[in-house]
Chain A
Amino acid sequence: MANEHASKQYDLDLGAIRTRVLQMGGLVESQIRRAIDGLASGDLAALEQVIDDDHRVNAMEVALDGDTSHLIVRRQPAASDLRMIFAIAKTVTDLERIGDEAQKMARMAKAIHERGAAPLPPAVDVRHAAEAAIAMLRRSLDAFARLDCEAAQGVIRDDAGLDAEFRAILRQLITFMMEDPRTISTALEIVWIAKAIERIGDHAKNMAEYVIYIVRGTDVRHTRSPQPGA
């Protein structure tokens, strides 16, 4: 993708779309962060804001889908351009889903705090898992921006760690619920939050897989491990 198109406008259009994908990524990242901060602080207004702001993520999805379909109609992209635009269309879907997960986290956090229940100790581990998911998302966006397969492979590898963290949180919560049934409501809400974080990791992994598709033209989805080199 080093060379420029003979059509300057094509380069500009494609560049603008890529920039907007990164902006959308920045927005969903802040949504996750604000949701997890709200879980810790109990700031209900902040959590409300996260829930409201999901419409901004949705609007970006709709706008980007429009931009990509226009580019396809006008340019009939081929080869790496085709893979790029195809990957962008899929990335946008994953980003929108991440936005939904962040909104779900904010809803659960709000429910916990509205009831006035003290968060259970695993909330600390949930925060750790959320940081890991945010790091995965950020690295997959960086990999997309720089078309860096190595970074993308790192994200794919890290997803297993996040899945393990989710299972650990689940085990802890089960222990709490068995010891004290009064914790069940809150524990279930934390399960939902942890599950949302685990799903965010899956979406970040998908996005990393699209980066490998753009660069190498190979589809590494549903394979055990991506093949190094190409």
Chain B
Amino acid sequence: MMEQLLATKAEARSLSFYYGDFQALKGISMPVHERQVTALIGPSGCGKSTFLRCFNRMHDLYPGNRYDGQIILQPDNTDLLARSIDPIDVRMRIGMVFQKPNPFPKTVFENVAYGLRVRGERSRRAVEEKVEQALHDAALWDEVKERLHQPAYNLSGGQQQRLCIARALATDPELLLFDEPTSALDPIATASIEELMHDLKKRVTILIVTHNMQQAARVSDFTAYMYLGELVEFGVTDELFIKPQKKQTEDYITGRFG
């Protein structure tokens, strides 16, 4: 019932993906609801990260990779995987945050300003405003406002990850991809990132890969369980964790042998 009321931000349609001869994704179809957090869970090698990376065409970087099917981005009904679509344009609309914080070897300020400059923002005032706003949105401003021009590497791991989130937010993405964003962080830093996701989803749609099932249960509205490149089950998170429809999902989330 909840599902029907929500707008769809993106939708995978019969999406398959091949690393050369190896088929890593097998005909995945599922929606990503607007301004909701959708979690992708499953054992290592199930294809969840591969799936996530399709959304910003990261696989284009390597030859021999092949997509089949579509990922439709709304509201303009664009197929992200269409040959006519430039992956750079896709990444303008879709931000990504990785497992390990990967700030650029620049200052705190320049890290966040980077995307704006790439887009040709020349006004110094506009850049400053957007950087400050993005740092506020990433719940980092108060901690870094006195050292905006120090190297980003001086920040703690949790701060670096929030800086990467600020960097992604600065360009106003419509969809944010998180690839295990807290697996390198301690519990407090993890909690602050999770809290941040909760605030961010008021404005932006989030798709997150996580190995931590409790994290999926905590942060997401919808959960997809993947296994061996297939989507086994997609549903409302609370329902999936209390009463999954598929035995495979049940075995995975209860920690049983498959």
Contacts and interface: CB of A to CB of B under 8 A. Distances in A.
B62 interface: no
Interface string B237-258: 0000111100001110111111
Contacts of A5: 254-257
B185 interface: no
Contact of B253 (A4, A7, A79, A83): A79
Nearest to B245: A217
A80 B257 contact: no
B4 interface: no
Given A217-B242, A217-B243, A80 B254 contact: yes
Contact of A3 (B213, B243, B251, B253): B251
Contact of B256 (A6, A76, A82, A83): A6
A4 B254 CA distance: 10
B217 interface: yes
A131 to B, nearest CB: 36
Contacts of B243: 79, 83, 217
Contacts of B254: 5, 77-81
A10 interface: yes
A4 B256 contact: yes
Interface in B145-200: none
B contacts with A: majority SS: helix
Contact of B241 (A6, A7, A75, A82): A82
Nearest to B250: A79
B242 A83 contact: yes
B214 interface: yes
Contacts of B253: 78-79
B244 A3 contact: no
A78 B255 CA distance: 9
A82 B253 CA distance: 11
B242 A7 contact: no
A81 B250 CA distance: 9
Q: Range of interface residues on chain B?
A: 10 to 19
Contacts of B251: 3
Interface string A3-24: 1111100100000000000000
Nearest to B243: A217
Contacts of A7: 255
Given A83-B242, A83-B243, A78 B213 contact: yes
Nearest to B241: A78
B152 to A, nearest CB: 35
B75 to A, nearest CB: 36
Contact of B244 (A4, A6, A76, A79): A79
A155 to B, nearest CB: 22
A85 B253 CA distance: 15
A2 to B, nearest CB: 9
A78 B256 contact: no
Nearest to B251: A3
Residue of B213, B214, B251, B258 with most partner-chain A CB within 10 A: B251
Contacts of A77: 254
A81 B253 CA distance: 10
A77 B254 CA distance: 7
A44 B214 CA distance: 55
Contacts of B257: 3-6
Interface string A46-87: 000000000000000000000000000001111111110000
A3 B242 contact: no
Interface in A74-110: 75-83
A149 B163 CA distance: 53
10 contacts: A3-B251, A5-B256, A5-B257, A7-B255, A75-B255, A76-B214, A78-B213, A79-B243, A79-B253, A83-B243
Given A5-B255, A79-B243, A82-B241, 20 more contacts: A3-B258, A4-B256, A4-B257, A5-B254, A5-B256, A6-B255, A6-B257, A76-B214, A77-B254, A78-B217, A78-B242, A78-B253, A78-B254, A79-B241, A79-B244, A79-B249, A79-B253, A80-B250, A82-B242, A83-B243
